[in-house]
Structures are given as structure tokens and as C-alpha cells.
Chain A
Amino acid sequence: MPALLCSHCGTPNRTGSNFCNRCGADLRGEPQQQAEDALGDAAPDATSPDATPSLRAEQPWLAPGFTGADDVPFEEDEEDPAALDALPPLPAPAMRLVSGVQGLLDPIRVAAMSQDNDASAPTTGVQEFPFGIDQMRRVRTLMMEEPMLASGSVQPSQPHRSLWLPWVFLIIGVGVALPLLIGWPLPAGKPMLWRGVASGFDAVERLSPNARVQILWAYDPATAGEMDLLSAPVLRHLLDRGATLRIISLLPNGPATARRSLAHVEMQRLPDLSAIGVHHNFEVSFWPGGATVLPLLAAESADLALVFAAQSEDVQHWLEQVAPINRVPVLAVTSAGADPPLRAYLDSGQLVGLVSGYDGAYHYTELLGETPAPDDVRAMRAQVAGQDYGALAILAIVVLGNLIALLTGRRPDG
């Protein structure tokens, strides 16, 4: 069948195509060929190996004696140096549809399956092509398939090394599951009061009734176990102040998570007689487009901005994209993991408050001066106990690793 052969990636394209279906290279000006014949005509051209030394200089992994970065040498049958040397030089890259965005890597020649080449096949005389059609199909199939786990041992000389990981996993699993199975005999202890909790509480406390509050809801069920404990007291406080909430989430599952948290908080407030008859207006929306669209919020007036975030980047995006424009004070309510990178923003005054982790949730609830709901107490105790036992398990693992290294004089790498 007449076809256009892409000189960049070798894919046969329909006659009359302007661009390659696979790599987008410009096919205008390419000579039309018999693709099937040309592909079957994959005999190595031993007369033109000039490009091979420079190819090896820039792609040392093609050299026969090269060992990979992980010091694992290639198998003997993976590389065929003779076939590699015999391959003709690669065709010059064609003009590309979008320069610089795609096709930055020149095609790498495949020499491992050189036995598939049929040197005796007749040539068309139109264009020499180094790969056979079966080779191309096999490579494409390999690239499109899901990776499969190797059945054999990669390092048969050290089979004992893989035995450490199950023990590590067992220790951490038991450490985390223990409080669930036997309760929490250890005292939970009073967590540390970090800077930023009291100032954050004050920022909410100063809000007048019907104050507008923008909320970026940057967590979903993956981190809700920790974040719900933090958002609950802050949301209760906001509703107590009669604030109007404008909630935006850039995560597809963010709005559903926000609605559940708000419903939970409102259910807790039902026994509060002063809350009866008070209608809280809040709006929850999902915005696709990521942090790029955040500046749209800067055009809306607000008295306070809150970022509920499991990762520090979400707070940083707000501080970079929104806060410099609308100058609305920002309170960050984050996971414990997001706390360290955000401390500097608190010190610089870009954040009016920083409430993070179970520590922050505990002290914010204490500042509210209310008796926590039994469900919240139970959840927080379980979380704190889990954190305590998890920390102990991690410590045990670290000590174990160092002891093994000390006693055996080698590094058990898991």
C-alpha cells in the first residue's frame, strides 16, 4: 500500500498526510514510499556506520561495556554490538509541528532484536529504514502494555535483602493498629501550642456578623482524617460569628468533602438553642483549571480568607495569586506536614494565623471554650493515640535499622 514513512519516528502514514500520526513531524515534502516494503527492507547497511561513534559518545548506554547507574550490567543478550555497528545512520530530524515541545529526544536505535531483520529481503530503493515491521510492532506493543513484575530475582546473589521490608511493614502495621485493637493505654499528653493558633482565633473572633469569608477548600477524603478535625472547630467558630462563607475547591472531590464537613458541624450545633432559626448561607463550588484561576477570587470582596489545605503549596498559591491583589488577611488551616514550610509566612505577616495538625485542632477547640462533642473527642483521641503509636513504631524501625548496621557491619537496604 502506498504510504508516507515518517523520517523522524518511522511510522507509516496514510498517503497525503501532512503530519505524522504518531509524533506530529511535518511530512510535507517527504517522498511517498511503499511502507510495507520499506519496513521489511531492514537489512543493516554495513557501509555507512559513520554516525556510530558520535552516537555512542552522546548515548553511552549504547556502548557494549556500559553499566547502568544502579551498577547492574546489561545482560549479554540485551545488546548486540555487531548489529549496532552495522545499523545505518539515523535520518536527519524532520521539521516538527511544534518546535521544542515534542520530539526533544532523537530516536534511539534498537539493536536487541536484530535477528528479526531479514538481510536477504529485497530493497525498494526508495529509502533505507533500519527497523523491520515486526520489530516496530513489538516495540509498540511493549510500550503500550502495562509493565509486569519480574518473576525472577533481580539480585540473586543477595536474596536476604528483601526479607527486611516485611518486618518493617509488620512493625509499622502493628504500631498503628495497636490502639485500634487494645485502646490507648498510654496517656495522650497535651500537645504543643505552636505560634499562630491564638492569632488565627483572634482573626475569626474579630469578624462582624455577616462578614464575607472566602475559603479555599484544598483537601479531599484522602486527608480528611486529619483535616476534618481541624476544619470542624474553625467552621463552628465561623458559623458562631454569623459569617457568610464562599467556598471554592480546585479538587473534584473537594466540594463533596466540604458539604459533609459543614453538615457535620451544623448537626453538632443543633442542640445549641441560640443556633435555632439562624440560617447560614454558604456556597460551595468546584473550579477546574488548578491554581491558574485563583486570581479570579481576588476580584471578590471579603473580610477574611481561609485556606484549608493538606499541602503547603495550596497556601503558597493563595499567597502568591490572590492575597497580593485583594489584600485580604489570610488564615491557613493545614495538616501537620504542611506546617514547616508555612512558618516563614506567619513570621513575615503574610499569614495572620496558622492552625495545623492535631495540636492546632486541640488548642483551637480549647480557645473556643466549648465542650467538644463526644464524637469529636473520640475521633481526636483515636487520632492522637494513633499518632503516638505510629511515632513509637517509626522510632523502633529507625533503631532496628541502626542496630542491624552496627552489628552486621553492612547496610540492610530493605
Chain B
Amino acid sequence: MSSSPPVRSNWLFAILLMAALVFVVLGRVPGWVGVSAIVRAGYEWALLLGGVALLLGVVNVLWLHIRRIALGQRDWVLSLALIAVLIAVAGAGLLSPTGAASPLLEWVFDAVIAPGQAALFALLIFFMAAAAFQYLRIGRRGGAWMLAGFLVILAAQTPFIFAWLPPGSAGVADWLLNAPVMAALRGVLLGSSLALLIVGLRLLLGRP
């Protein structure tokens, strides 16, 4: 496999992508009114495409779980529950004159979705604690620097610790965020963007 055959580029995709790129770039140039209208139409298509993709996702989920039930696969009961809830929620929204603001949907949001999402997000603190325990070590390579930066930022952002800090210490945190942290972050962002651009071009040219 050292001499894997070159991958052909799909010229239809390449032309469409290049055309979209040119139109989007020209749409940013003032004075190109006609191009702006085309670009706007493209964005509206993207909006429609997003909606259709959501519907396709729903159909895909339905199909997948109907198959699981039909084949009697493991945990098919959960698939059945998922389909029942999906039908109930979608039906409530479609049949109610208030649409997405129907009482059942409001109840589902308040009683299930909101606390569920909040609870799952709150679990992050445990992962953060485990990561802090494991990586903020003086003995690790670079660990002392990470630990120092962590302590400075934590102190500046925690109200009761900040109240005990000497005046001017907040400037240290501000400088840290604005100079080294920002420089590193921008470097990573720029580097990954350039890498993405090059990978995309290579893919378009059939040289992945």
C-alpha cells in the first residue's frame, strides 16, 4: 500500500465549491449588488437545507429504531420508548394551535429538557476536577507553569479570593490573558485554519 493509487478529484464538487467561494468573497465586496443577491439566495438555500437535514435526521432515527424493534435487538424497549416520546412531542406541536408553545411541549421543556441538559452540563465539574488532580502537578513537564497560571486566573475570577488580593494583581491576570494566552490561542487558531485550508485544497485537487 506504499503506492496507493491517486484519488480522483470530483470535478463537479470542485467547480461547485469554487463557485460558492468566489460568490461569497465577491459578496463581501461593496458595490457587487447582483452578486449579493445570489449569495443571499445561497444562504437561504443553506437555511432550507438545514431544516431538511433536521427532518432527515428525524426520519433516520425513526427508521433505525423501528428496525431495532422489528429485529428484537438488545434494548429494543428503549427504542420503543424513544419512538413513543418522539411521536407524542411531535404530535403535540403539530396538532396544537399554539404550535411549539403548546402546553405539553412547554411541560416537556421545563420538566425534562431543561433540567436534563443542566444536569449533564453540571457533570463537567467532575471531569475538570479529575483533570486538575491529574495534570496540575509541579513535577510534570510544564506543570508548574500551568499551575501558576491556573492559580492566578482562578484567584482573579473567584470573588472572595479576589477580595483578598493586593491591588494591581488583577492586572497580572489581565496581562496573562491578553498577551501569552491570546498569542498562543491565535497561533493555534491560525495554524489550524491554514491546515484546514490546505487539506481542503488537496482534497479538491485529488491529492489527499
Contacts and interface: CB of A to CB of B under 8 A. Distances in A.
A106 B130 contact: no
A100 B208 contact: yes
Contact of A253 (B8, B74, B117, B126): B117
Interface string A357-393: 1110000000000000000000000001001101101
Contacts of B126: 168-169, 172-173
Contacts of B59: none
Interface string B115-147: 101101100011011101110111110000001
B50 A224 contact: no
Contact of B182 (A57, A169, A343): A343
Interface string B4-15: 110111100100
Contacts of A93: 4-5
B118 A344 contact: no
B10 A220 contact: no
Contacts of A414: 130, 133-134
Interface of B is mostly: helix
B178 A347 contact: yes
Nearest to A394: B132
B129 A393 contact: yes
A372 B9 CA distance: 62
Interface of A is mostly: helix
A183 interface: no
Contacts of A400: 133
Given A287-B47, A325-B28, A388 B1 contact: no
B49 interface: yes
Interface residues of A, number: 83
B43 A292 contact: yes
A98 B10 contact: yes
A177 B159 CA distance: 18
A413 B118 contact: no
A391 B160 CA distance: 10
Given A171-B129, A221-B117, A401-B133, A100 B160 contact: no
A100 B4 CA distance: 13
Interface in A161-196: 164-165, 168-169, 171-173, 176, 186-192, 194-195
B38 interface: no
A69 to B, nearest CB: 18
A225 interface: yes
Given A100-B206, A187-B160, A357-B157, A293 B47 contact: yes
A96 B5 CA distance: 12
A224 B119 CA distance: 11
Contact of B159 (A176, A188, A411): A188
Given A172-B129, A221-B109, A411-B137, 7 more contacts: A188-B160, A192-B170, A222-B120, A224-B118, A391-B154, A397-B133, A401-B137
25 contacts: A54-B1, A58-B1, A100-B7, A101-B203, A189-B159, A192-B162, A192-B170, A222-B117, A253-B109, A256-B100, A259-B101, A287-B47, A287-B50, A293-B50, A295-B27, A296-B40, A343-B174, A343-B182, A384-B159, A390-B125, A391-B161, A394-B128, A401-B136, A402-B136, A405-B139
* Nearest 3 interchain pairs by C-beta: A289-B50, A288-B50, A189-B163
Interface of B: 1-2, 4-5, 7-10, 13, 27-28, 39-40, 43-44, 46-47, 49-51, 53-54, 74-75, 100-101, 106, 109, 113-115, 117-118, 120-121, 125-126, 128-130, 132-134, 136-140, 147, 150, 153-154, 156-163, 170, 174, 177-178, 181-182, 185-186, 203, 206, 208
Interface of A: 51, 54-55, 57-58, 90, 92-93, 95-96, 98-101, 104, 106, 145-146, 164-165, 168-169, 171-173, 176, 186-192, 194-195, 220-225, 253, 255-257, 259, 287-290, 292-293, 295-296, 299, 324-325, 336, 340-341, 343-344, 347, 357-359, 384, 387-388, 390-391, 393-395, 397-398, 400-402, 405, 411, 413-414
